[in-house]
Structure 1
Amino acid sequence: MEETQQLRAQIDLLQAALDHISQGFTVFDNELRLVAWNRGLYDMLDMPREIVKRGSHLEAFIRVNAERGEYGEGDIEGKIARRIERAKLFEPHYFERVRPNGQIIAVSGTPLPQGGFVTIYSDVTEERQRQEKLERTVQERTRALQQSEDWLRLVTDNIPALIAYIAPGPVFRFANRRYADWFGHSVVSIAGRPAPEVVGEDLFSELEPHINHAFEGNAVSYEYQRKRPNGSTAYMRSTLIPDMTQDGRTLGIFVLSLDATDQKQAEAALVQSQRMDAVGKLTGGLAHDFNNLLAILMGNLLSLSRMEEPVSKQALDSKVAPMREATKRGSDLIQRLLAFSRGEAIDPQTVPLAQVLTNVSGLLEGSLPSAVRMETEIADVHIAACIDPTQMETALINLAFNARDAMPEGGTLRIALAETRLNKREADDLGVQKGRFAEIRVEDTGTGMDEDTQLKLFEPFFTTKNFGTGSGLGLSMVYGFMRQSGGAISVSSALGTGTCFTLYLPFTRLEKQDGPPGQEADANDFKQGEGELLLLVEDDPDVATTVTDQLQNLGYSVLLAESAEDARSLALDLPELRGVLSDIVMPGQINGLALAREIRQKRTDLGIALMSGYADWSSLSGHGQQCEFPVLAKPFADDQLADTLQQILSPKR
């Protein structure tokens, strides 16, 4: 009796615990009769209490639901029968039922090992309502996001720029229409593709360091060039902005690229304008220099014509030597002036700055008033920098003429080259990295400038000169060139005390040369010929006679052709011929480059060289800059001619 009371107490305790569960609970035996339940059964499902008792059959519960319409309209008895048959299978089951009042009940049944099953009833109404609300919200936001993406696509596709997003990999995740078109893709096909596959391996190898630097969290700007489908060159200016999290991780990079071709062309036009302006300013001085050279030539020629035979070699040399030096100086001056005025686009190269200053001094000689004294000071001839030498000369000439204009009553212009070292504060003030720099100082003793003028000095179109006498672009171009070369420029001035411009360029030191720069080879050092037969093609009789003498003095035999037709026949008919030296531009005839190519096709054994008196012979011949033969610029010295002939004939010896 005592054990029965203890068991009943335990059952009552278990029932009390089940009644506190928020879910409904039932246990039916293998005959589908109710064995256990909790209060949630009739609280959640509104079951009549008279049927919620031990031994009630499952059919009573199903009938209550069916008669209340919880299974929908139709045959009640059929609905009951079908549910009883499924229950007798004692299989695991789960379903959700929506009651007529809108309540959603989840029913989960699990079979027992001895038969029967345990069923859990859960009210999931609020959960399903939250889920439906969430799904509606997701759908609404998806539509809004799609609309935003459509608007973003519409905006980015109509911006005159190339826009993209690159994820780590690097892989493209987004590109606007212009960006995709630029690399031959669609906005759909470019997404998900690796960057090397999109831009090409060659271009990617150039861009990869910039991309890697951006993924390290740095904003990067750079320029690159690429051929358009029509063969023209486009210059692009790109900026990479890292997409970073608050903890410093880089998720990707935004890409903005702009077509800078027109700007590049405009910049080149401005540079050329400044260069030609400087050439114009040089004209007076150059005319003075050339008149002096002509005076030397004319005077010595007249003196030679008055000499009576016999004439000693010493007397002859005393007249010829100044003439030879005058022609060499005139040729050098013309070559420097033409190279300066053409301003051919060349890649930056390591240049000895002493040579640049020497060239500038040669161009400025005679172009400055006699009241202006020019001094050049070079501390070390081995100081160099990676620059475009022509632009460097343009910059120095612009500064020199500004100095000249600042000294109307005369004074001293001093250009000095030295090495310096900038500490961090000095470098930060100039906007460069600290370290060693080549320093070029251009100083004058002129009128100087006030502080307000110095602040505006490098602004485009700012000038203190009278209208029509200055473009206001000279100093801005100098500033831009220095920045482009990785350097800087500063100015120090005061009214009445003169002005000093200081140019800073990243320092490079050249290896020391065996001899002094510009030292000419001795005549005995020329490599002489051994009587080889050469064909000279030149339509000007006087030039032909002069070059024939040079060739014969170098030990070669010469056969002269005055026309391209004669040259073609002789080159093809004379097997003993060893080389051809032809003028490029021959009026009214086939040009020398075309002749040389025709001969080379049929006589691969011949050494061929060309010569021209035109500075820009390539444009006259219509063949661009492509030339596979050595080209001598007229007039040329014996050592230049000897070296060229050795170059084309040595492999044939």
Structure 2
Amino acid sequence: MVVEGPAGQRFLYTLEDADRPYRVLIEQIQEGAFTLGTDGTVLYCNLRLAEMLGAPQERVIGLPLQSFLFAGDVPVFLRLLEAASAGVVRGELVLAREDGIGLPVNLSLSQLHREEVTPLLCGVLSDLSDQRLHLRELADANDRLRTEAAERERVEEALRQAQKMEAVGQLTGGLAHDFNNLLAGISGSLELMQTRMQQGRFTDVERYMAAAQGASKRAAALTHRLLAFSRRQTLDPKPTDVNRLVTGMQEMIQRTVGPAILIEVVGTSGIWGTLVDPHQLENALLNLCINARDAMPDGGRITIETANRWLDERAARHQDMPEGQYLALSVTDTGTGMPPEVIARVFEPFFTTKPLGEGTGLGLSMIYGFAKQSGGQVRIYSEVGKGTTVSIYLPRHYGEIDKENGEAAVATLPRSVQGETVLVVDDEPTVRMLLVDILEDLGYTAIEAGDSVAGLKVLRSDVRIDLLVTDVGLPGGMNGRQMADAARVSRPDLKVLFITGYAENSVVGNGHLAPGMAILTKPFAIDTMAARIRSMIEASGVTRRRADAL
């Protein structure tokens, strides 16, 4: 072919001239390029392939390429060689260099078709050493990260354990201090009562009795707060309209905080219901308002607000809660506020910023435990000098809510009629004695049992039992709930009153007791226990009369 140059001169351009640039390009590329016969014999290789094999080009050309492979890779290469006649094939091999070092490579091979000429195979070998090295480095880095993560987790766990032990130490110290004070009041009052009665001076007995009862009630309140903090209190959840609950408490809260503080209630219309223990929620709300009052010694404003909150995954993760629909009850004050280091500790038991003797430090920890046990959360926002907002989040309840305000007053129920019998099962003799005395005062026949085995033996007999009063935690292999369930196999209409000082919620059905069952928390007032027993006995009688009528 004749070509014309820029100045009009003419040149003869042969096929050899056309191939030369491609040959130069092939010699300069960083991959090993080669041409093979159909049996794998190397007909041509560039300098880079010779370097990869660790041998000069003239020694490589004329030899089968499979002779430069490790024995295990030869069958793989032969399969690729055969498949190349149908199209491009690729695979990974390891070249056996003359110095004995294996070189990982990626093979790309295809057939070069030429008319009326024996077909050839052309291919490229790419060095994978750097890639493999990089992968090893990544694997090593990943191993180091895993090791560092495990070490960090170990250190964090040690730190959490140390913080937990510090909290336990603070808890036990505060608990011992408060209970020692209460026990001193109780034991001292009882000793003085005994002394005055021996001296025949009965005028002071009532005063000491009142002091002992007051101290015992404060001790009961303290244990309830501790159980609330540890999320182990016995809850009695009910579908609750929080707007109505707040409205019903507004007057009492105003009297509690005093006239210098304005109470403002902002209740969202269409507020969702929630399944919660209303009495515990009232206690939590009152505690928050008292804390708000104490943060405003010169007066101010407390805003109690309810709202519906729908938390998506991101918002729920930020609030450390499952995503979903919640009712939020918030108390906001215009008080002194709290710095971040105080906010970080407000839920610790016995931690308080109030002066010595003016606070137990259990208020917020109790509220936190109650909210978590109810399936919710507590969140605090505060700025120094501007005020604080504490929000209790409670899961939405989709069921119906009783529209009646408050609880119906306990009616004066008739005393026992002849033949009504109550079985009392408790492993504490003093509690059994107290319950039997209450029952006998009401005219009932009482049967005692000290454990679940003795109790179940009575329940499986032919003795008439109108009400079972049982502790939840019992010796004998079964707890109170298990004993009651076993008894209901043969006595399906048996009324059961659980009494407990501490119970796992799961034991009593997480607050969802079966019909005809109720629960009362120790310590209890005698009149409360008497009213509960009478109401359940009467309900049993009504049920029986209805059944007889049918």
Structures share a fold, TM > 0.5? Answer: no
Which has the greater radius of gyration?
1
TM-score bracket for this pair, using the shorter chain length:
0.3 to 0.5
TM-score (norm 2): 0.42
